[in-house]
Chain A
Amino acid sequence: MKLGQIARRFLIPSFVVTGVYLVKHRCMVSPKAEVELNKLISLGKGTDISSFAKLKANDGKLTVGENVSIGTCCFISADQGGVSIGDYSMVGPNSSIIGNNYRYDQLDVPICLQEKTSKGIHIGENVWIGAGTVVVDGARIESGAIVAPNSVVSGRVPKDAIVQGNPAKVIFQRR
Chain B
Amino acid sequence: MDLNEKVTEIVADIFELDETEVADELTPDMVDIWDSLSQLRLVTAIEQDFDIKLSMDEIETIDSVGRLKRLVAEHVKLS
> Which residues on the B side are within 8 Å of A148 (C-beta)?
37
Closest CB of chain B to A172's CB: distance in Å?
Answer: 4
Q: Complex: how many Å from CA A10 to CA B12?
A: 56
> From DSSP, what is the main secondary structure of chain B's interface residues?
helix
**Residue interface bits A102-113, CB-to-B below 8 A is 1, else 0:** 000000000000
**Interface 9-residue window, one of B1-9, B20-28, B40-48, B62-70:** B40-48
User: Which residues of chain B are near A39, meaning CB under 8 Å?
Assistant: none
Per-residue interface assignment for chain A, residues 148 to 175, with 1 indicating a CB less than 8 Å from any chain B CB and 0 otherwise: 1000000000000010100000111101
> Which of B44, B55, B56: most chain A Cβ within 10 A?
B44
Q: A148-B37, A164-B37 are in contact. Are A172 and B55 (CB under 8 A)?
A: no
Kindly count the residue-residue contacts between A and B in the assembled complex, taking CB atoms under 8 Å apart. Answer: 18
Residues in A neighbouring B43, C-beta threshold 8 A: 172
Q: How far is the CA of A173 from the CA of B44 in the complex (A)?
A: 8
Of all chain B residues, the one with the shortest Cβ separation from A174 is B56
Q: Do the beta carbons of A171 and B56 come within 8 Å of each other?
A: no
Count of residues in A whose CB is under 8 Å from the partner chain: 8
Q: Which residues of A contact B40 (CB under 8 A)?
A: 162, 171-172
Q: Which residues of A contact B56 (CB under 8 A)?
A: 175
Q: Chain A residues with Cβ under 8 A from B41's Cβ?
A: 164, 171-172
A175 to B53, CA, bound (A): 10
**Distance from A49 Cβ to chain B, minimum over Cβ atoms (Å):** 28
Taking the closest CB of chain A, its distance from the CB of B34, in whole angstroms, is 14
18 interchain pairs, CB-CB under 8 A = A148-B37, A162-B37, A162-B40, A164-B37, A164-B41, A170-B44, A171-B37, A171-B40, A171-B41, A171-B44, A172-B40, A172-B41, A172-B43, A172-B44, A173-B44, A175-B53, A175-B55, A175-B56
Give the interface of B toward A (CB within 8 A): 37, 40-41, 43-44, 53, 55-56
A residues apposed to B, CB below 8 Å? 148, 162, 164, 170-173, 175
